[in-house]
Amino acid sequence: MGACMAFFIAMKACKVILIEQEKKIAFHSSSRNTGKVHAPFLYDPIKKKSISKAAFLGFDMLKKYCFSRSLPFKEDGIILAATYDNAIDKLYKYMEWGYSNGLRDYELKLLSKEELSKTEPNIRCLSALYCSRDASTDYRAITEQLIEDAKLMGCKVILASKLKRISSSNDHLILHTESGYVFADFIINAAGGSSLHIAHKTNVATQYSDLHFRGEYWQAPAEYNDLTKISVYSVPKYPEFPFLDPHWIIRTDGRREIGPNAVPVFGPYAYSWSINIRNFLPKIIETSFSGARKTFTDTQFLSLARNELISSFSKRAMINRVREFLPQLNVNKFIRRATSGIRSCLVDSEGKFISDILIAKTDRSLHILNNNSPGATGSLPLAAKIVNRLIEEGHLRCSADQTNRSVLWDIKKIAEEIP
């Protein structure tokens, strides 16, 4: 999201500086996800109306950008498999959501197990949804290219510069970073797992807290490369929680992976158990004074969290979930873990998870919070909408001379399509 914002701001000839805490771009969630361009059939068009519409528009925008920059974009589609009776009813609901979110009849089809077996004989399920408007890409490559394009249009990038605090003068906000000071008229916070922490530094969204969930993956051996031609998800059993059963994922480079689970961890960068332990006490103290403490009194949440922990320590427990629809998998042949990523979820004062993206704004700052899946898919259109809004409100002062700028999109037109 930060790269998309910088790209559009630079495109409109506004002066912009992007500050990144790491030594390189896209070190965290932008390169630690499934690499999928998600079709919006799993998202409630009422509860997730902004992110659903953004995901629908994001497909064509990502496709256009990837093709213009020779980046991978494979329109490979996806199967959503129903492995238990009640899941079939959910398939019908997802079809309705998909159509409401803009998908067309020929892009989303309900298949019986007999119909599915004709094209994917190794998938075992009672019924399935097939969506052709789904793709695989490389979000790290996209993010890096967006930054390069933004730099060519005048954006400055400061790496290895973690934000320590924010102060203000009469004329500017002052960002105190590990590499020095940055003076700004306006701040856009798109810091992913750190976004709520930064928002709290400006006394914004203080009624919210966050919980973090590590998604882990196992890489399948090459002998399973012909098991399916398409990625396979299973119908989520508990969509109100961030616990989705692992998927069978086909990457753009041909790798097959199983994942992600959703293991509760104590920080947005707790990729290892040593980092997790180090963050344990500070996060427990923070949680005890927030609405998140109420989440831990929910017996269903605690039961699901326990199961996710088991899937982290037990390879068999995790891969057996995928064996529900791919029974041919042999657990003992999985010997290599793949890259893990972390999703940070916003929780309100009652301990309930926030379902949609949340954008909080002050006179001098804007904070993009809870930009989870399908966050990467919808980042380009959402960034276009936000930048257009900030220009119209006078927060961004742009030059009238916008020659030699990218003309891939009209951001005003895009902004009008997102609620």
**Domains defined for the chain, CATH in brackets:** 2-415 (3.30.9.10)
Pairing of strands 218-219, 209-215: unpaired
What pTM, to 2 d.p., does this model score? 0.94
Residue type, 187: I
Q: What is the pLDDT of residue 368?
A: 97
In whole numbers, what is the pLDDT of the chain averaged over residues?
94
Cα 45 to Cα 59: distance, rounded to the nearest angstrom: 17
Instruction: Tell which residue, 268, 250, 251, 257, has the closest CA to residue 214.
Output: 268
Average pLDDT on 45-60 reads 92
Burial of 364 (0-12, 13-18, 19+ CB in 10 A): middle
Q: What is the pLDDT of residue 346?
A: 96
Q: Could you report the per-residue pLDDT of 243-253, keeping only the tens digit for each?
A: 878 899 999 99
High-pLDDT (> 90) share of the chain, %: 86
Q: Which three-class secondary structure state does DSSP give residue 233?
A: strand
Task: Write the DSSP symbol of residue 285.
Answer: H
Structural contact between residues 271 and 342, judged by C-beta atoms closer than 8 angstroms: yes
Alpha-carbon torsion (153, 154, 160, 165), positive or negative: negative
Cα 300 to Cα 322: distance, rounded to the nearest angstrom: 22
Checking if the pLDDT of 404 tops 70, the result is no
Q: What is the pLDDT of residue 403?
A: 66
Burial of 179 (0-12, 13-18, 19+ CB in 10 A): exposed
Structural contact between residues 154 and 17, judged by C-beta atoms closer than 8 angstroms: no
Structural contact between residues 159 and 22, judged by C-beta atoms closer than 8 angstroms: yes
Longest dimension (CA), the chain: 69
Checking if the pLDDT of 111 tops 80, the result is yes
Strand order of the β-sheet with 231-234 is: 108-112, 127-131, 78-82, 231-234, 247-250, 256-259, 218-219, 336-337
Checking if the pLDDT of 118 tops 90, the result is yes
Q: Could you report the per-residue pLDDT of 296-343, keeping only the tens digit for each?
A: 889 999 999 999 999 999 999 999 999 999 999 999 999 999 999 999
Residue 370: what are its φ and ψ, rounded to 5°?
65, 35
Structural contact between residues 123 and 116, judged by C-beta atoms closer than 8 angstroms: yes
- Bridge partners (DSSP) listed for residue 173: 168, 184
Query: Is-cis flag, bond preceding 374, omega within 30?
Result: yes
Q: What is the pLDDT of residue 193?
A: 94
Cα 161 to Cα 104: distance, rounded to the nearest angstrom: 45
Checking if the pLDDT of 406 tops 90, the result is no
Cα 290 to Cα 85: distance, rounded to the nearest angstrom: 38
Structural contact between residues 204 and 321, judged by C-beta atoms closer than 8 angstroms: no
Structural contact between residues 259 and 247, judged by C-beta atoms closer than 8 angstroms: yes
Checking if the pLDDT of 156 tops 90, the result is yes
Instruction: Tell which residue, 106, 108, 90, 110, has the closest CA to residue 98.
Output: 108
Checking if the pLDDT of 133 tops 70, the result is yes
Give Cβ neighbours of residue 279 (< 8 Å, ≥ 6 apart).
Answer: 265, 266, 267, 270
Average pLDDT on 77-85 reads 95
